A and B are shown apart, each in its own frame.
Chain A
């Protein structure tokens, strides 16, 4: 169906090839996962398939790519629209019209299909993706998962033979991600659709993948079945690392496989419940919310939340898309005015803080870290931060080199990879040495190694420097690794507040992979399991 023969790609004004001599074929009805570190060229590979690269981006392409026998050299992306459906990283950026039904019809209209055929196909897709109740809704008002489904629907409505998805679940909560992936799984099995997907959160997708293309950087790629790739790949989901730690001979791809393989071993590992219970911090709480309510229009974004957070804690705020996580964070950092109740950060109203007073108390990384950045180079950005925070010149840059080694100080912040950009924003904020650090969805688009760096940094800040960290995230694996406490929000209310194990284990959807495998033992990270094995020996 898709054939890459000796494909190499280099972008203009760049010295390094993105891909070198890549050859593979994907046959009909396969689901292929493209994986690799951030900024390594996964999106480029996906966009090569329908010719968006290089027709849209420029760059030199050597070798040949053909889809269903049509070479992308000879045809522009529009000419492959009936054959390939492509769903971009952020579906909201790709929507052309404003309501669901019209969006579904847009592609068919451009290809001049007769209107009765369009009506039929739109109905089909509405049913297939369970979008019927949303047909007249304005797309901007839909939740993330619903938007992703509309984007997939508007690609599928053209009856393509190939569906290409760039990180379809990275912005979604675990439940919405499951919805989207199970639909893809069904499409592959029922319609024989060929699917190419890229994803950072491998634990969500490897069980569906027939084959994996691992882009390793420096132009190297590996292609193989999940078993072949994960036999030795460093880039692997927690379940694989757990299997390695437990020295299993086989490679498990699903929790079910893993439980089957480890049945005996799990029996040996007695649950000694050595997990220390959370001690209630005796210090004065740093953040104090009393009966806070925030309303947007008629809806309560947050209703009657009371919460206190002390220094030394790493609090994860979890919940589904639109549950009020961001609103809660914005209240704490003083970005939104409180309608009812009171917010105090170190006994002060965060809404009124300004300038240096603010930066030494609260550090905030918004969902788009680039919102904070506006200078022309990394070095400029760092010296600006030094100046703003009245610290010795060079402090921020030194911090950055420690956190993200190998970053060139002349690079424009836009040209950094997602992880590097987050690192820069973090350093800019941290150079003010704030008492509390608040991060909104920091792991969207981060690979495992960048996440590891983030985890150790957050630990350092909270435990060694005794400050408070608040993270809103969908990433259960990150929460399991780093958090000391989880606050679970639904519909603007706190529904659970407790230790990580308590909260995560009580919800099957939000339980990390390790916990699912080791259940009923209350271990949530690989380290927990390793410790337990040591104790057992």
Chain B
């Protein structure tokens, strides 16, 4: 965690950058910005359970592109242009007029859906970067008290999640050592049962611990340490927001200067 940064900074930064990228509507700029962001994450993210969010968001982005292209090509209004191949048209009932599944696939259709997909994926990647770079726990603490109650449950969920992953691999391994190979549906049942039981007992333990520490006993709660804005926070947000003025020229500059500014 970058302790010196306000937990909101990366989120503002990612929001502004994502908007700027969307405004340029240029694939090359989007890919370049995501590339630079990847370097930022690589250099700045610390070893935390949520540091993997960025790579997850990249994977999710790839899925988005794939799904967007697939649905774009299969379903929808035909787009005139160079024909690459023709898929068989699936007949639909007459009340679904105007919608078509299959049919000719044009190069224009393919590029335009791929373009959309990449833009969405890069926005997801930028937000994923923000999630990797700032602690969700600290972020929640800077939220108003109203959201806090909800927030605490999110914090607990996020702290249990990495535990969940290690439990799965531990149980899987133990089962393998009992001579079971982990393939197929049956092995899933073998893992799910102990995992479920462990998770349940852990959450009961946690609930008991929170209860005995007075959680939920008073409606008001105080904050141990308030996060303050520093000049560096303003600078980072400023860079990202400024790129909105003329995104075509500035967004990449903003991304690169982030590398220099971020502590």
Q: Which of B137, B217, B220 has the most CB of A within 10 A?
A: B217
Distance (Å) between the CB of B136 and the closest chain A CB?
Answer: 9
B179 within 8 A of partner (CB): yes
Q: Which of A113, A138, A154, A334 has the most CB of B within 10 A?
A: A138
- A335-B173 in contact given A115-B225, A354-B179 (Cβ < 8 Å): yes
- A78-B181 in contact given A88-B208, A114-B222, A374-B190 (Cβ < 8 Å): no
A358 within 8 A of partner (CB): yes
Distance (Å) between the CB of B139 and the closest chain A CB?
Answer: 12
Q: Which A residues touch B155, using CB under 8 A? A: 96-97
Q: Which A residues touch B159, using CB under 8 A? A: 95-98
A266 within 8 A of partner (CB): no
Report yes or no: A77 in contact with B170, Cβ–Cβ below 8 A: no
Question: Once bound together, how far apart are the Cα atoms of A56 and B190, in whole Å?
Answer: 29
Residue of chain B at shortest CB distance from A357: B179
Report yes or no: A78 in contact with B212, Cβ–Cβ below 8 A: yes
A483 within 8 A of partner (CB): no
Other-chain residue from A106, A110, A115, A364 in contact with B177 (beta carbon distance below 8 A): A364
Other-chain residue from A80, A136, A358, A371 in contact with B3 (beta carbon distance below 8 A): A136
Report yes or no: A106 in contact with B213, Cβ–Cβ below 8 A: yes
Q: Which of A115, A371, A389 has the most CB of B within 10 A?
A: A371
Report yes or no: B208 in contact with A96, Cβ–Cβ below 8 A: no
Q: Which B residues touch A82, using CB under 8 A? A: 214
Question: Once bound together, how far apart are the Cα atoms of A90 and B222, in whole Å?
Answer: 28
- A81-B213 in contact given A56-B207, A90-B205 (Cβ < 8 Å): yes
- A81-B212 in contact given A97-B155, A136-B3, A370-B194 (Cβ < 8 Å): yes
- Segment 142-187 of B: residues with Cβ below 8 Å from A: 152, 155-156, 159, 162, 170-171, 173-181
A469 within 8 A of partner (CB): no
A366 within 8 A of partner (CB): yes
Interface mask (B179-213 → A, CB under 8 Å = 1, otherwise 0): 11100000001110110011000101111111111
Residue of chain A at shortest CB distance from B187: A374
B71 within 8 A of partner (CB): no
Residue of chain A at shortest CB distance from B192: A374
Report yes or no: B135 in contact with A78, Cβ–Cβ below 8 A: no
Report yes or no: A107 in contact with B213, Cβ–Cβ below 8 A: yes
- A76-B217 in contact given A52-B208, A108-B224 (Cβ < 8 Å): yes
Give the total of B residues in contact with A, Cβ under 8 Å: 51
Report whether over half of chain B's contact residues are helix, strand or loop; otherwise say mixed.
helix
Q: Which of A106, A110, A115, A155 has the most CB of B within 10 A?
A: A110
B94 within 8 A of partner (CB): no
Distance (Å) between the CB of A131 and the closest chain B CB?
Answer: 15
Report yes or no: B170 in contact with A110, Cβ–Cβ below 8 A: no
Q: Which A residues touch B214, using CB under 8 A? A: 78-79, 81-82, 107, 110-111, 158
Report yes or no: B193 in contact with A374, Cβ–Cβ below 8 A: yes
Residue of chain B at shortest CB distance from A333: B177
A251 within 8 A of partner (CB): no
Q: Which A residues touch B177, using CB under 8 A? A: 333-335, 358, 362, 364, 366
Report yes or no: A96 in contact with B211, Cβ–Cβ below 8 A: no
- Segment 54-83 of A: residues with Cβ below 8 Å from B: 55-56, 76-82
Q: Which A residues touch B179, using CB under 8 A? A: 354-356, 358-359, 388-389, 432
Interface mask (A353-391 → B, CB under 8 Å = 1, otherwise 0): 011101100101010101111100000000000001100
Cβ contacts A to B, 30 pairs, < 8 Å: A52-B208, A77-B212, A78-B214, A78-B216, A79-B217, A81-B213, A90-B205, A93-B205, A93-B206, A96-B159, A96-B206, A98-B159, A110-B215, A110-B216, A112-B220, A115-B222, A115-B223, A115-B225, A158-B214, A333-B177, A334-B177, A335-B176, A335-B177, A354-B179, A370-B194, A370-B197, A371-B170, A371-B194, A372-B174, A372-B178
Task: State the 8 A-B residue pairs at the shortest beta-carbon distance, nearest first.
Answer: A81-B214, A94-B209, A78-B217, A371-B174, A105-B224, A93-B205, A359-B179, A107-B213
Known: A79-B217, A98-B48, A335-B176. 15 other contacts (CB 8 A): A52-B208, A77-B211, A78-B213, A78-B216, A82-B214, A94-B206, A95-B209, A98-B135, A108-B222, A114-B222, A119-B224, A119-B225, A354-B181, A364-B178, A370-B194
